[in-house]
Structure 1
């Protein structure tokens, strides 16, 4: 690591930020250099976190075109939450992490969960830092065993066991931590361990993977709170990928989106979610096809499960239609501020005085990423070829919402 007097080399920091902005990657350096410019959304985010911290879990849905700054804004919100002590997870919807699969979503959230200043996943840090003789642990155990928690007996059982094995049996303590983070745990081994510490033999009834994932989410949020975190923020990016799944998978994804937005995953736990997707999704996918077709095909099955899923999917589609908060395009003031910041940043990164460049014409349809990349590319060219007069053109790439059979194969069903 290059440092100057124990601090990060400012030239290196500036260059990393420039390279991230050039590539359209919302790194921490890039976000800190450019800022947000979305004050209205920041206010809504603050209100969301305050509510979640009081146990009123909920979500915020963001929309913007490709290059509008959705991922950049998510990183900015992550920084705000981390600065306030929150635990933050980043989940990118993909073939490996489909929104319609709560188990895979939870594993991704658990694996990426971090608090400021911590290197290991936050669930592990929280469990290892928990005062097992303190009030917070006692309250967590009391909640876990209560009927109101609606938890499978695996959770209070492993929580009680963890207090006995954390300092005595590192291997089994690790097994418990992996269970809390998404891995299975052997029931015979669990029963044997409970017998060894004099605990009564629990029933440990079977539980479906989807329900177990939802219980893990509530339990983990409570565990994080017991270790001092004000709440757990889960950031979802590229949610528009659900448009490329099969009809059944889209229906399940709409239902899951509704659960996150309505706080149904939380049930009193301090959980907040922010989901980002393209702003044309409603017009290109829901209005064009899914609003009528998805519920009709599910209800045509004439099963209770199909009818319930149809209703939940309709809620999710209405949320996308009516509750999406669009990123505001940059105005002249914000563009000037961004231009001045990036001009200074480019100068620090490469040790020169960047001249004025034309960049792109100021149009309402032009996105911030396009302005940023045009400025950086033109400064790069002028720095290397001082007599060159660069001109930048923009070519839009339309979103592709066609169903992808390869994505469907990721579903165990």
Structure 2
């Protein structure tokens, strides 16, 4: 039997990867490139969005609908590989009881800790940040006044770049959503600068200010040389298991993440996958549906019918 050359061995290994991807139903980056696309109409739309995103514009996100077993997770995985090949950083997460979408702090922590980049097999951007000088942030969007709803994550980033490796790990964890205690952050600041921690304009409240961390991380990803942050959300239908008040919070967060109507200017693009029953049982049910109930709750709680209530809800539920 003739011996295989190095090229033949590589090709055989790649072929085995493709066969394994087909057997398991989980596409690899290589099989995504090689195998024909059976959902061209859908994936072409996503690719067009990614091309727009790569050009510097921020497209609205999308929701992929389908019944159980129709391959929604497979599609998200293929999108992940395509986005990585195009130079984006990608987070792919599934909603769960712990991360249900109603709280942006838990959602952000899961997404930030799952960041994959095209040039590394390790999650995150620690190595890129650890080799960056604070002075290089000058002139970047991160220093634009009022770019974020709260200044705390920018302070954490500055202290990360000014600290020794041991403290950098604590501060990086904060940037990844595992919040550092304020007394510890103040001590680090005093050691770095020899003066007290600056007075914040307002106390940081995760419910109100977590978009600052999302925005900063997206800007950091661009700063590190990637084209933007693609967030893929699986099992979106789990939002339907929440109570009505919690669903309101989850819908508001999803509306922001999908950037419907230009909610933010951060380099974030979101694609979510949901079982069709979320539409049939909650959104478009003949009686007691969220299209009627959620705007009523929003108007009663927030006293802002047009901004948070029916006007937003109709846009959100109708066009994606």
Q: How high is the TM-score relative to the length of structure 2?
A: 0.83
Residue 196 of structure 1 pairs with residue 196 of structure 2? no
Q: 2:45 corresponds to which residue? A: 44
Q: 2:168 corresponds to which residue? A: 173
Q: 1:82 corresponds to which residue? A: 84
Q: 1:182 corresponds to which residue? A: 177
Q: 1:19 corresponds to which residue? A: 23
In 2, are the aligned partners of 1:102 and 1:213 still within 8 Å (CA)? yes
In 2, are the aligned partners of 1:111 and 1:181 still within 8 Å (CA)? yes
Equivalent pairs, count: 308
Q: Of residues 154, 157, 163 in structure 2, which corresponds to 1:156?
A: 154
> Could you say if the C-alpha distance between residues 155 and 224 of structure 1 is closer, same or farther in structure 2, counting changes exceeding 3 Å?
same
Point out where structure 2 has 5 or more consecutive residues left out of the alignment.
Answer: none
Alignment of 1:6-405 (within 5 A): 7=10, 9-10=13-14, 12-21=16-25, 25-26=26-27, 28=29, 31=32, 34-53=35-54, 54-56=56-58, 58-134=60-136, 137-140=137-140, 143-165=141-163, 169-198=164-193, 201-204=197-200, 205-262=202-259, 267-288=264-285, 289-299=289-299, 302-304=300-302, 311=309, 315-316=312-313, 318-320=315-317, 322-324=318-320
Q: How high is the TM-score relative to the length of structure 1?
A: 0.66
1:106 Cα shift? 0.6
1:298 Cα shift? 4.8
2:189 is paired with a residue of what secondary structure? helix
CA separation in 2, counterparts of 1:83 and 1:14? 17
Query: Which protein has greater RCO, CA pairs closer than 8 Å, 6+ apart?
Result: 1
Map Cα deviations across residues 331-374 of structure 1 (whole Å, 9 max, x no partner).
xxxxxxxxxxxxxxxxxxxxxxxxxxxxxxxxxxxxxxxxxxxx
Please say which structure displays the higher CA radius of gyration.
1
> Could you say if the C-alpha distance between residues 91 and 295 of structure 1 is closer, same or farther in structure 2, counting changes exceeding 3 Å?
same
Q: 1:392 corresponds to which residue? A: none
2:99 is paired with a residue of what secondary structure? coil
CA separation in 2, counterparts of 1:191 and 1:250? 36
In 2, are the aligned partners of 1:129 and 1:227 still within 8 Å (CA)? no
CA separation in 2, counterparts of 1:228 and 1:92? 26
> Could you say if the C-alpha distance between residues 151 and 307 of structure 1 is closer, same or farther in structure 2, counting changes exceeding 3 Å?
closer
CA separation in 2, counterparts of 1:50 and 1:74? 17
In 2, are the aligned partners of 1:90 and 1:234 still within 8 Å (CA)? yes
In 2, are the aligned partners of 1:48 and 1:60 still within 8 Å (CA)? no
CA separation in 2, counterparts of 1:131 and 1:280? 49
CA separation in 2, counterparts of 1:307 and 1:20? 48
> Could you say if the C-alpha distance between residues 305 and 122 of structure 1 is closer, same or farther in structure 2, counting changes exceeding 3 Å?
farther
CA separation in 2, counterparts of 1:221 and 1:109? 11
CA separation in 2, counterparts of 1:245 and 1:28? 35
